Amino acid sequence: MPDHFDDRSLRNKLNFKLGDFEFMEFAIEFSGHENIRSNHKSTIEITKESHLTPRGDCIVGVNANSSCNDLPDELKEKLRDSDAKVSVTITVGVHVFSMQGRGHPDLTLTHEDDIVIRKSDFVCPRTLIVRCDKASDLLPRKMVSLLQNPKSKGVLRIAVD
């Protein structure tokens, strides 16, 4: 997309249909931070916040350009389907980390700053998906090292089928 495109949420969204298969993807850009630890065993998070303390051990990115609240309504609808299969991919440089989870009918997707991916079925305004097969502790340590540099950039892609 051209840099001058005005609507960030549309710029980050990709929709296509192939036969009966409909696919939606949404990309969120974020930055690294010196306090990224990525060692939480049940969640992974990105935030629009710029500050991070070492206690935020599930956070893998700050200064995100979108939160749960910013997601397109069409994507939110798909995520509220308990049968929705959701793939989330984090890319930092040449490193890619992929995980799979599910939608949930009780998702509100209204948090103004955060996106949290959970291994459990717990739902709150920050929750993007539940029953995910991975958490931040499984992020490759080389990727974590890159993300500890505030100049690092990453992309979190959400794909729903």
Reported as a single tens digit per residue, the pLDDT across 69-110 is 999 999 999 999 999 999 999 999 999 999 999 999 999 999
Quick: pLDDT tens for 105-128.
999 999 999 999 999 999 999 999
Residue range 15-160, CATH number: 2.60.120.630
Domain ranges of the chain: 15-160
Q: What pLDDT band is residue 3 in, cutting at 50, 70 and 90?
A: very low
How do 13-18 and 21-31 pair as beta strands? antiparallel
Q: Which of 25, 133, 113 is nearest to 67 (CA)?
A: 113
Q: Which of 108, 98, 87 is nearest to 140 (CA)?
A: 98
Residue showing tokens 């959970």 = 118
CA distances in angstroms from 13 to 27, 29, 99, 118, 133, listed in the order given: 7, 12, 19, 23, 24
Distance, in Å, from the CA atom of 88 to the CA atom of 133, rounded to the nearest integer, reads 11
User: Residue 23: which residues within 8 A CB-CB, separation 6 or more?
Assistant: 15, 16, 17, 159, 160, 161
Quick: pLDDT tens for 5-52.
344 444 465 565 545 556 689 999 999 999 999 999 999 999 999 999
